[in-house]
Amino acid sequence: AQSVSQHNHHVILSEAASLELGCNYSYGGTVNLFWYVQYPGQHLQLLLKYFSGDPLVKGIKGFEAEFIKSKFSFNLRKPSVQWSDTAEYFCAVRFNKFYFGSGTKLNVKP
């Protein structure tokens, strides 16, 4: 069955540290890939998406993600996190429908 895995359930970083959140999916066909963020008390918002083309995707707020087809991965990165990045991050993959990962809670210490 198709699935989306986020390996890190809870990540704690200090400000200015670099971030990488893992996302892997299990499906060999064409996919669309997304990262969503949910700030405390707010709804899910799109950070970035990949449909085709350059596998390195730039999103809002300095986030980027790289699609590596051979590894079935779409990891989210940010070179230097800020306290305001504290949120829960969800990876989503669209095969015939959307599949979401279980989310990663990021706590950034000021």
Partner 1 sequence: GAVVSQHPSRVICKSGTSVKIECRSLDFQATTMFWYRQFPKKSLMLMATSNEGSKATYEQGVEKDKFLINHASLTLSTLTVTSAHPEDSSFYICSARGVQGSDSYEQYFGPGTRLTVT
Q: Which is nearer to partner 1, 6 or 75 (CB)?
A: 6
Q: Quote the least distance from Cβ 62 to partner 1, whole Å.
A: 18
Q: Which residues are within 8 A (CB) of 42 and not within 5 positions of it... i.e. 6 or more apart?
A: none
DSSP 3-state helix, strand, coil percentages of the chain (rounded to 5)? 10, 50, 40
Pairwise CA distance, residues 81 & 79, whole Å:
7
- Measured in whole angstroms, the distance separating CA 80 from the mean position of its chain's CA atoms is 15
* Residue 56, amino acid: L
Q: Quote the least distance from Cβ 45 to partner 1, whole Å.
A: 7
Q: Which is nearer to partner 1, 63 or 90 (CB)?
A: 90
Q: Which is nearer to partner 1, 63 or 103 (CB)?
A: 103
Q: Quote the least distance from Cβ 49 to partner 1, whole Å.
A: 7
Positions touching partner 1 (CB under 8 A) are 4, 9, 32, 34, 36, 42-46, 49, 51, 90, 94, 97-103
